[in-house]
Structures are given as structure tokens and as C-alpha cells.
Amino acid sequence: MVKSQFIAEKERLLDHHRVLLITTGSVASIKAPLIVAELLQYRNVKVEVVATKESLAFYDRADVVKAGSYKIGDPILHIELRRWADIVLVAPCSANTLSKIAHGLCDNLATSLLRALAPTTPTYIFPAMNTLMYEHPLTAEHVRVVRDVVRYQIVGPIGKNLACGDVGLGAMTEWFDVVKIVVNQMKLTRKDDK
């Protein structure tokens, strides 16, 4: 590695922890503002949000714009974003996006940057869907491919009363547990800790 590259790499490490949150068209996207707000309680954390069009039905983009310098929908190159990210969360991950990842599709910014991601970038997928969608045999196959071939970490779903009225597996891991994974992975400290 030439010297300038080494310095750039070092500065990057000393700089910020960059968290990229991808939201998709699950009702659990209503938790995105909570995830962002909580992450920003930690030192040296920067958050950017990439929202699929469908996920924006579930939260107000103004509630996460404070996350970063880009606004949702800005034409950020997927390559720039994947270089920027130290950790990627797909929270929530819809059945549709899970399937797209398993099949290697890259037809929007979220799936394009995932295809361009270095395998060394920790990537966590938090599925969230109706119980029957989750129990559909194709879901197990998509989970298998995403976990064993693409090698992302799959967390959840959990069982509870779902927004659709069903009771069972399919809810996104609790939003504070999503944050906890980032905190542990990146060894973050809260701004209000002495």
C-alpha cells in the first residue's frame, strides 16, 4: 500500500462509524426514525438512509433527513455509497427485497449497492413480513441463499402480533436490538457516557 493510501485508510478508521440503513416496503419501516435517532446518540456515528419507494409509505422522510448530508432520493451513486458504508443494515427487509437479493437483482439503489458491496462489509438483514409470507417455502430458500451464498447475517424475524392481525413469526427484530447489533459490532460509546 503506498503511503497516501495508508494515511487515507488510517484517517478513515479514526474518523466516523458510517452506518447505512436500507428500508424496504414493510410496515416495520415505521421504526426507521427510531433506529436513526438512537444511532445518533452514539459518538462519531454517521447514518445514511436508502429507502425503497415502497418503504416511504411508512415514514416521513423528514424524520430521517437529519441522519446525513444526503436526502432520501438523492441520486447517490451506488458505488459511492458502498465505499462509504462501514456497516449495512436492511431493516426491515421485505419478502420482495429478500427475494431480489437472493436472485442478485439490482433494479433500485438499495439492491444495486448491495450487489456492489465488498464481502468484508458487515451486512445484516432483518426480514419482516406476514407470517404466511415468511412460511412460504420460497422464503426459506431465499434466506438460505442470502445467508450461505451471499453471506449476510440474517437476524429474525421474531414472533408477535403482526400489524396485519396475524399472530406468529414475521415481525422485524425489535428496533433497539437492531441498534444493539451495530453498537456491539462497532464498539460504539454513547455521547452521554463519561
Ligand X SMILES: Cc1cc2nc3c(=O)[nH]c(=O)nc-3n(C[C@H](O)[C@H](O)[C@H](O)COP(=O)(O)O)c2cc1C
Binder to ligand X among 19, 24, 50, 175 (CB under 6 A)? 24
Chain position carrying cell 462497532: 186
Q: Does 113 bind ligand X (CB under 6 A)?
A: no
Q: Does 112 bind ligand X (CB under 6 A)?
A: no
Which of 164, 176, 180, 189 is catalytic? The answer is 164
Closest to ligand X by CB, 136 or 147? 136
Q: Does 25 bind ligand X (CB under 6 A)?
A: yes
Binder to ligand X among 46, 67, 88, 94 (CB under 6 A)? 94
Chain position carrying cell 413480513: 129
CB-CB contact of 126 with 92 (8 Å): yes
Give DSSP secondary structure letters for 94-159. Answer: -HHHHHHHHHT---SHHHHHHHHS-TTS-EEEEE---HHHHHSHHHHHHHHIIIIIS--EE---EE
Reply yes or no on whether 164 is catalytic: yes
Binder to ligand X among 16, 37, 54, 63 (CB under 6 A)? 54
Q: Does 173 bind ligand X (CB under 6 A)?
A: no
Site size toward ligand X (CB under 6 A) is: 15
Whole-number Å distance between alpha carbons of 22 and 51: 6
- Stretches 49-57, 68-76, 79-87, 185-193: which one binds ligand X (CB under 6 A)? 49-57
Q: Which strand (E) or helix (H) includes residue 34? A: helix 32-39
Closest CA to 28 of 93, 73, 111, 96: 93
Q: Does 50 bind ligand X (CB under 6 A)?
A: no
CB-CB contact of 132 with 96 (8 Å): no
Binder to ligand X among 20, 114, 128, 179 (CB under 6 A)? 128
| Catalytic residue set | 164
Binding site for ligand X (CB under 6 A): 24-28, 52, 54-55, 94-97, 128-129, 133
